[in-house]
Structure 1
Amino acid sequence: MARNLGRDYKNVHTDVAHLIDLGLLEKNERGELSAPYDEMVIHAFVRDAA
């Protein structure tokens, strides 16, 4: 996945672990990832730095 995304393996691993913890991704006994949703909409609000 990291190679396909052009990202560092460690960063992708950390991101995926967080998404699993949040229940947004699932990992089966063979280590395969899946999303239990057909669609995810994420709203991220960004504030100006103080």
Structure 2
Amino acid sequence: MTKAIIGIANFKDTHNELLDIAARLDSGERLPDADYQLNFATASQLFSEITPKRLELLDALKRTGPQSVYRLAKTLRRNYSNVHSSVVGLLGLGLIAKDANDKVYVPWDDVEIHVSLSRSIAA
């Protein structure tokens, strides 16, 4: 099962994790397949990118499957240009993808959001 995990992490922790992974790879260790990690520095940054409308779009797309942006706008009963803008943002974040027919879809079995206020404050 592949997941997209969205959360909060500071640069120092992320840097240290990447150095650890690099050292393990350099030593020849084969690492297991990993989930997609999308981290933000603060909760406010996370929620400015992952808005309620974008969450609604992700949910609808996950339930209904691949479709054109036009069809998605109709499904959501939202203005096409607003849905298109959200799609572009979510594509940029790696949370949705386009297939060969230019239809958008959620490439993950699940999408999780982890928010810890103590991490947000520490960052």
TM-score normalised per structure 2: 0.32
Match of 1:36 among 101, 107, 110: 107
Matches of 1:42 and 1:16, distance apart in 2 = 18
Q: CA deviation at 1:2?
A: 0.7
- Structure 2: which 5+ residue stretches go unaligned? 1-71, 116-123
Number of paired residues?
Answer: 44
- Letter matched to residue 5 of structure 1: L
TM-score normalised per structure 1: 0.71
Higher RCO, Cα 8 Å, sep 6+: 2
Q: Describe the SS at the equivalent of 1:41.
A: strand
Percent of aligned positions that are identical: 39
- Structure 1: which 5+ residue stretches go unaligned? 45-50
Moved over 3 A (4+): none
Partner of 1:6: 77
Instruction: Please identify the structure whose Cα radius of gyration is greater.
Output: 2
- Do structure 1's residue 22 and structure 2's residue 93 form an aligned pair? yes
Instruction: Describe the superposition over 1:17-45 as per-residue Cα deviations: whole angstroms up to 9, x where unpaired.
Output: 1000000011123202121211112368x
Matches of 1:30 and 1:9, distance apart in 2 = 19
